[in-house]
Structure 1
Amino acid sequence: MKEQKIIRRIWLFFCMGVLIVPLYLFSVQVDFCNLYGGMPSTALLENPQSALSSELYSADGVLLGKYFRDNRSPIDYEMLSPNIIQALIASEDCRFREHAGIDLRGLARAFFLSVLLRRNRGGGSTLTQQLAKNLFAIRKEVNYEGKCASIPSLRMLVHKTKEWILAVQLERTYTKEEILTMYLNTVTFGNNTYGIKVAVRTFFNKTAAELHVEEAALLVGLLRASTRYNPILHPDKAKYIRNVVLAQMVKHNFIKQAEYDLLCEMPIELHYQEENYEQGIAPYFRAVVRDFLLKWTVENGYDLYADGLRIYTTLDSRIQSHAETAVKEHMAQLQHKFDDHWKGANPWIYENGTEMEDYVETAIQKSDFYKQLVQKHRGDLGAVHAALHTAVPTTLFTWEGPIQVNLTPWEAFKHHRKMLQSGCMAMDPHTGHIKAWVGGINYKHFQYDHVKQGKRQAGSTFKPIVYTVALDNGYLPGDVVVDEPVTFSLPNGETWTGKNAWNYFSGKKLTLRYAMANSYNSITSYLVKALGPELIVNYAHNMGIKGALEAVPSIGLGCSDVSIYEMVSAYATFLNKGVWTEPFFITRIEDKYGNVLQTFIPQNREVMHEDTAALMTYMLQGSLDEGALRGVSPELRKDNEIAGKSGTTSNHSDGWFIGLSQNLCIGVWVGGEDRCIHFRDFANGSGSQTARPIWEKFMLKLYEDRALGYKKAPLVDRSSVSDKVKQIIQIADQEKRQADANSAVNSENYTHKQNKINKEMLDVNKIF
């Protein structure tokens, strides 16, 4: 009788369990009376969402960079090395291929060892359960908590129950391979790396398909505790956990004991490169594109940092690399020259050559760093002053590499202000495609962009716009004008007279081509007076100069502030038969599935007659044929047609060069962070000395790189040039040859005069 009662109670408990457990699971799944909170929907299971980095690609298919909150990029199963799959299964879920989402043996082991015996041997979660947990974590914006969440013990039980239910649903919905792929795409490996694709690239600089066994074991080990086993911070601990995973691979027959014995002795070899906005190719370009994309995504309802957009740009990574190298090579040399030039003295000076003693104090107060200090110390200027003059560990930029020193922010600011800056942009004149963009010398230390954001006086590089107006209004390259003073009457009753840089008027008759090539301010002033400053301003705006321009007599001498971006677009018009094309840098934007969201086409308009454009190209060749730029590398000139114009502003504060080749227009600027920082003299600070060498180096690298397809060739397609233009050029060339012949007859007198002019140009520092 007693035995029957026991049997009946057992059956009762069994039946109650059979009824209660399913009812409990069902009530959790449907969130009965909001006791448990909701769960991710079936639709979400079929298409699990996670924050994906948006990726930026070059025109030649290279990943330039990413925009992210959590650095995550998805990968397909076929792109995974078997080593990572085997290491993961061996370490985290050895019966993964056998269970249906829940491993009962693992749960029993975890219950008895970890709960009853209090031996921490893991929680018994399968990879599928861990994936389910990750899906809950990813959906941070959804609240899955119910009324039971207020009771800690019940809250944990409900969470586990939801993971079990979700794990079973995942197993029913996906194949084992898809579950493994989703898991590896959602986990974090530390160092702001989310997903296996990013982790492999960050730690080993390779693809997931190329992972070796020991590398895969290291990454799987990081999943247990990414900070504790971080190979950068704790290499010994990282090696230990790697070997633990390798031992598990031996235990489950994925590798042999002999292979383990060899691998466990190997040191950890990393090719670590953390992905951030400061490193990698084209950082200034990526920052400019980011600003554009932030505006675009707001207007079109996307999240740049989470929606996994794919942005395809016009930039060519190979051309960009050559541009960055050319800037680096020349600016490193120029900086040493600049430092020697000042011999330890401070380079911020007034026009009379004396030092601006209050420069650092004034300039530092305009910096973001200073404003942050004021905010931090709540306006206490005494505390701000103390912070500025307290030594702290600091990283200084040098061309020999960054150096770590203990230095006050005040001295660090002075050090960086002594650095010359540069900007360079290359554009296809026919399509408007920006091919290279170097906004400065080092993005980590100097984030101000000198291509589009920075605007400085253009100096003589503005003169071709004046000559364009002249040619478009009846003047010819061979027309002669006397090199003599040209005086303007100003509205205030005063007068203004443009002076040549060498403060000398020869009284000679000069052709327009020769005058532009040799930057005669007197001839430019003559044209400004004849044509009117207002007309020149209108042409400049039509040619892409979008900033404010003053219609004043000195407009032709480059007194207004412009950007490299604007000047390159203006000069490119000459090579594009008089049609201005807006520079642009994005061709299309796709969503994460590859659907095209928008394609981009640049604006264009005809701004000058086609003949004018051809003649201006011929005029610009004069700078290299008979002007101040005859010293361009013979290697660059041989069997080639190139053109360009240099520019130098007052006190040699800004050096410019805009160069043209058949399919490329390149603009370069060099100068100090502020206009008061510059060389003392024209001989060192002119655009032909500071900016032109970057263009030369850049062009030579492009020609040497046969894969790019840039070849030495005529600037203009001769067959498309009108007979009228051909005749004008022929006459101008004949006149030039005659002038050269006359000069040869009077060579001694000519040489004496030329030497006198050269001497006066070298002594220009006395003038300024």
Structure 2
Amino acid sequence: MFAARASGLVKLLGLCLTAGVLLAAMVFPFVGGLGLASNRAADEVDKTSGDLAKAELPLVTTIQDMNGEPIAYLYDQYRIPLTAGEISDTMKAAILAIEDKRFYEHRGVDWQGIARAAAKAGVDGGATQGASTLTQQYVKNYMAFVLGADNEQEAWEKATEATVGRKLREARIALQLEQEVSKEDILAGYLNIVPLGNQTYGVGAAAKAYFNTTADKLTVPQAALLAAIANRPSSLNPGASPDKALERRNIVIDKMRENGAFGKDEAEAKTKAEEYKAAPLGVVDNLQLLPKGCVGAGDGPIYGFFCDYLLDYLRAAGITNKQLQRGGLTIKTTLDPKATKAAKQSAEQQVPKTQNGIANVMSVVEPGKDKHKVRALVANRDYGNNAELGQVARPVPAEVLPFGPGSVNKVFTAAAALENGVTGIDKTIDVPNTYTSRAYANGGTPWTIHNAGPYSDKMSLTQALATSPNTGFVILQEKTGLGKVVDMAYRLGMRDTLSSVNRGGEPLKADGSNGPSQGDWTKQANAGSYTLGPGATSVLELANVAATIVSGGTWCPPTPVEKVIDRYGKDIPLKEKPCEQAVTPDLAYSLAQGLSHDVLPNGTAAGAVPPGWNRNMIGKTGTTEEHKSVAFMAATMQYAGAVMTYADGNNPQVICANPIRLCPGSSAGVYGGQVAAPTWFNAMKVIHEGLPAVPLPPAAARYK
């Protein structure tokens, strides 16, 4: 016992001496031989206290649709920042009663408390535990949850390490902070930072989550519970440990009574305290937490694909993950809820989400000369992490898929042929039933192509685009040049599809080990099948190609964002690719006229046109040779869109229609006009409601 007491006295003396040095150092940084080391420490303290004084807390980022309605939230810490006036006096009284009843008497460090803690150290051997003022706790929490938010566990361990050095630094910062910041702001700062469990930080978020109320309306039992679990949210979780939480809450209520929170009349105060302690915890059955990330985006999991694409786009545009998760940004997007819901409903109507092995995805883009706004990204699948329910947590309507669009690629052959004067939209092209190409080798031997059905030997390019004979476009590609066709596809919008993945649709590795790109491989291998569309494809880029055509040949990146605003209301500039004039307006509108017959009675999409549809449009269906994927790319002057239906199982099989299903070995596979085109029309009929019918611009004489 004597040894323990002696040890305690030594520690007490040490702490008192340290406190004296600390105070001296606050005024005279070089006193006592502290010299340069002290000066550096003082600089660090000055910086930290200065940061604390302006404490930029991690905040929730809100993603909004085109109408300003929230669709998703991003955060590391769920926090609702409050001013001192927005926090009830009851909450302040509760936290001070249990954490620092002398808060308004000390200057940041409670020397009386330190002396008591040091004396106690003689018994339990702990020289650095306890005696922290609320200001010091504010400093500690700031170190852990603001400065150290990138790695909270490591930062918390460092901020709470049981060393004299850490305690002294914390105390010195607290002393300096109280010279720069008012008591009320320090108290509010603490109540905004403190972790309160269940992903909530600060009393604003905790009041909402636990009680579905605001911090200015907290009752005594509610405020006491929050004060009880402050800094001990795991062990005092009111959901997992209600008895412990209740016991601690009642201790807080007793401390509030002792502190005079319930009036000076002792009997009356005691009666009130007993009434408050008799109240149940009062936590709501379903915690009112914000849905976090893209999985919970929107009314059900229908906005998740758009959200995922948005985040990838923003990162590429210079917004960091730290800004997204902690910056309190407001992201105003281009998402159209009406278009999204219509497209989602149509995708599921054609291919039910319960249909195993078949995906149906759609992208909708609004054309324009200065921006191509992404209005909808949907699939018959839901966005999510439950693979057993067929959910997918990737932006499949926007990413490059390892499936081909089939004859949609004939659009690029036609565009390149027009640009190079090979033909015109009204000029006839050769369409033999069978054609053997000597330009494109097939394993060293000539390549023979067949049409899928009977065609006239000759027809106009417009008629060929509507009826899609294979031989005619292979011949046209030969005359134009494969390289020019591939380059045209890139210019019109197939940019990631041709430059960012290999021929199998795998993203190119930085070291080039799985290259070349699909575009380079097509040229190097002289792959004449390109015009028949067997290779990997992005549905969003197909939609953007249609948008480029009806925008007079102006290509713009398919953007999901209108603007990004920081927590102070200022716009954050984005590094977006500029729009380009991919082809001349004359060529674009002539191509549009050439694509306008696909919905006429002899066109491949004619059977999908709904009753009452009277809008001028462009369109092109596509079907791959094995019927494992089909597509439809189309646009009016107001909206462009693309749909692809593909076998997305581990072992892709032939897809058949009526009803839609997998049919391995069948020779009667589905066509683009049977499932992809109806998906487009059913969605676009709703999306175009209330809009006038706008004619396509006329073709230029030189391209007729």
Work out the number of aligned pairs and report it: 604
1:577 is displaced (CA, Å) by 0.9
* SS at structure 2 position matched to 1:189: coil
Q: Partner of 1:170 in structure 2?
A: 177
Matches within 5 A, 1:555-574: 555-574=530-549
Quickly say closer, same or farther: Cα 1:202–1:468, change in 2 above 3 A: farther
In structure 2, stretches of 5+ residues that fail to align are 1-13, 150-159, 264-268, 499-517, 661-669
2-side partners of 1:17 and 1:246: how far apart? Answer: 33
Quickly say closer, same or farther: Cα 1:470–1:17, change in 2 above 3 A: closer
- 1:452-504 residue CA offsets vs partner (Å, 9 max, x unmatched): 24342111222222333345447554555575425142255744343333xx2
Single out whichever of 203-212 and 684-693 deviates more from structure 2: 203-212
Quickly say closer, same or farther: Cα 1:722–1:169, change in 2 above 3 A: same
Quickly say closer, same or farther: Cα 1:135–1:271, change in 2 above 3 A: closer
* Identity, % of aligned positions: 23
1:209 is displaced (CA, Å) by 7.2
- 1:258-312 residue CA offsets vs partner (Å, 9 max, x unmatched): 9948963745332345635644355455555555666776xx9996578738474
1:227 equivalent in alignment to 2:234: yes
1:686 equivalent in alignment to 2:693: no
Q: Partner of 1:46 in structure 2?
A: 50
Q: Partner of 1:26 in structure 2?
A: 24
Whether the 8 Å contact between 2:433 and 2:455 is mirrored in structure 1 is: no
Single out whichever of 108-117 and 97-106 deviates more from structure 2: 108-117
Match of 1:75 among 74, 78, 81: 81
* SS at structure 2 position matched to 1:434: strand
- 1:723-760 residue CA offsets vs partner (Å, 9 max, x unmatched): 867998xxxxxxxxxxxxxxxxxxxxxxxxxxxxxxxx
1-side partners of 2:470 and 2:608: how far apart? Answer: 23
Q: CA RMSD in A?
A: 5.0
1:576 is displaced (CA, Å) by 0.5
1-side partners of 2:474 and 2:213: how far apart? Answer: 60
Quickly say closer, same or farther: Cα 1:479–1:117, change in 2 above 3 A: closer
Q: Partner of 2:449 in structure 1?
A: 498
Whether the 8 Å contact between 1:651 and 1:681 is mirrored in structure 2 is: no
Quickly say closer, same or farther: Cα 1:51–1:180, change in 2 above 3 A: closer
Whether the 8 Å contact between 1:54 and 1:304 is mirrored in structure 2 is: no
1:563 is displaced (CA, Å) by 1.6
1:465 equivalent in alignment to 2:418: no
1-side partners of 2:653 and 2:399: how far apart? Answer: 21
1:173 is displaced (CA, Å) by 1.3
- 1:316-358 residue CA offsets vs partner (Å, 9 max, x unmatched): 2636853784377448x5344x4xxxxxxxxxxxxxxxxxxxx
Q: Partner of 1:346 in structure 2?
A: none
Q: Partner of 1:489 in structure 2?
A: 437
Q: Partner of 2:157 in structure 1?
A: none
Match of 1:334 among 352, 362, 365: 352
Q: Partner of 2:197 in structure 1?
A: 190
Match of 1:629 among 605, 608, 611: 605
1-side partners of 2:281 and 2:80: how far apart? Answer: 33
Whether the 8 Å contact between 2:72 and 2:296 is mirrored in structure 1 is: no
1:653 is displaced (CA, Å) by 1.3
1:252 equivalent in alignment to 2:261: yes
In structure 1, stretches of 5+ residues that fail to align are 1-15, 142-151, 339-417, 705-710, 729-768
Whether the 8 Å contact between 1:640 and 1:712 is mirrored in structure 2 is: no
Single out whichever of 305-314 and 572-581 deviates more from structure 2: 305-314
Whether the 8 Å contact between 1:581 and 1:605 is mirrored in structure 2 is: yes
1-side partners of 2:617 and 2:111: how far apart? Answer: 77
- 1:141-190 residue CA offsets vs partner (Å, 9 max, x unmatched): 9xxxxxxxxxx99x755654544443333232112342233223332233
Higher helix fraction: Structure 1 or Structure 2? 1
Quickly say closer, same or farther: Cα 1:615–1:73, change in 2 above 3 A: farther
1:664 equivalent in alignment to 2:639: yes
Matches within 5 A, 1:473-622: 473=421, 475-479=423-427, 484-491=432-439, 492=441, 494-501=445-452, 504-507=453-456, 510-546=459-495, 547=498, 548-549=518-519, 550=522, 551-585=526-560, 598-622=573-597
Which residue identity lines up with residue 141 of structure 2 in the other structure?
N
2-side partners of 1:79 and 1:435: how far apart? Answer: 41
1:713 equivalent in alignment to 2:662: no
Q: Partner of 1:758 in structure 2?
A: none
* SS at structure 2 position matched to 1:490: strand
Quickly say closer, same or farther: Cα 1:205–1:606, change in 2 above 3 A: farther
* SS at structure 2 position matched to 1:528: helix
Whether the 8 Å contact between 1:72 and 1:198 is mirrored in structure 2 is: yes
- 1:647-693 residue CA offsets vs partner (Å, 9 max, x unmatched): 22222211323232443322232323368423443553433444445
Q: Partner of 2:667 in structure 1?
A: none
1-side partners of 2:530 and 2:15: how far apart? Answer: 92
Match of 2:335 among 316, 320, 326: 316
Whether the 8 Å contact between 2:74 and 2:292 is mirrored in structure 1 is: no
Which residue identity lines up with residue 334 of structure 1 in the other structure?
P
1-side partners of 2:197 and 2:675: how far apart? Answer: 44
1-side partners of 2:445 and 2:654: how far apart? Answer: 32
1:436 equivalent in alignment to 2:373: no
1-side partners of 2:214 and 2:616: how far apart? Answer: 43
2-side partners of 1:419 and 1:237: how far apart? Answer: 50
Matches within 5 A, 1:134-149: 134-137=141-144, 139=147
* TM-score of the aligned structures, taking structure 1 as reference length: 0.64
* SS at structure 2 position matched to 1:188: coil
Whether the 8 Å contact between 2:608 and 2:674 is mirrored in structure 1 is: no
2-side partners of 1:651 and 1:441: how far apart? Answer: 27
2-side partners of 1:200 and 1:620: how far apart? Answer: 59
1:131 is displaced (CA, Å) by 0.5
2-side partners of 1:523 and 1:679: how far apart? Answer: 26
Which residue identity lines up with residue 569 of structure 1 in the other structure?
N
Quickly say closer, same or farther: Cα 1:45–1:528, change in 2 above 3 A: same
2-side partners of 1:321 and 1:212: how far apart? Answer: 43
2-side partners of 1:111 and 1:287: how far apart? Answer: 54
Matches within 5 A, 1:210-289: 218-234=225-241, 237-238=244-245, 252-253=261-262, 260=276, 264=280, 266=282, 268-269=284-285, 270-273=287-290, 275-276=292-293, 278-281=295-298, 282-288=303-309
Which residue identity lines up with residue 629 of structure 1 in the other structure?
A
Quickly say closer, same or farther: Cα 1:608–1:231, change in 2 above 3 A: same
Which residue identity lines up with residue 280 of structure 2 in the other structure?
C
